[in-house]
Chain A
Amino acid sequence: QSALTQPASVSGSLGQSITISCIGTSSDIGSYHCVSWYQQHPGKAPKLLIYDFVHRPSGIPDRFSGSRSGNTAFLTISGLQPDDEADYYCNSFKTTNSYVFGTGTKVIVL
């Protein structure tokens, strides 16, 4: 099944805000509230940042926020910090009764 589309990389300076897009279709992001975002540092397991489009698990700072517009989901990171340099993945439930991840975005902190 086709992955959701994310930009290969996004960069920003310390303290700035960046937004990562996740483009889907009416068969996934556009139809369900089940959209989540994950952060993955090299050699580590992914970590859940956002679930159900906008909710943060316990312990995730409010610098991370999620939103949606149509068939596209967005992750915004405010007040960029050195440890935010990592890979980020979106994920959505689909009409095929399955989940699909995004292609992944490398965030570079300048």
Chain B
Amino acid sequence: EAAVTQSPRSKVAVTGGKVTLSCHQTNNHDYMYWYRQDTGHGLRLIHYSYVADSTEKGDIPDGYKASRPSQENFSLILELASLSQTAVYFCASTTGNYAEQFFGPGTRLTVL
């Protein structure tokens, strides 16, 4: 079973502050993804990465940066957190079958 972990599991941040969400996978997957989910809605893709040291923009990248320092780790960075970024953030990884993704447990971010 694929293992994807996220930290922290929840966080409260202040508007204008910097937030870093971390994701770690132990399955040697090349592909990693960051999604956000707003209450009552489906997930939306923020950033993704095919290989270490490279990231790509997803469908809603504005206000977010991503970093992939190694195959196992993928971070999502909010340089200036805003109220609208309050959401649950999910990390996922996959191998050759890009649509069969393995998700982490999520990080609940509240920006005040």
* A and B part of one assembly: no
State the A residues within 8 Å of B (CB). Answer: none
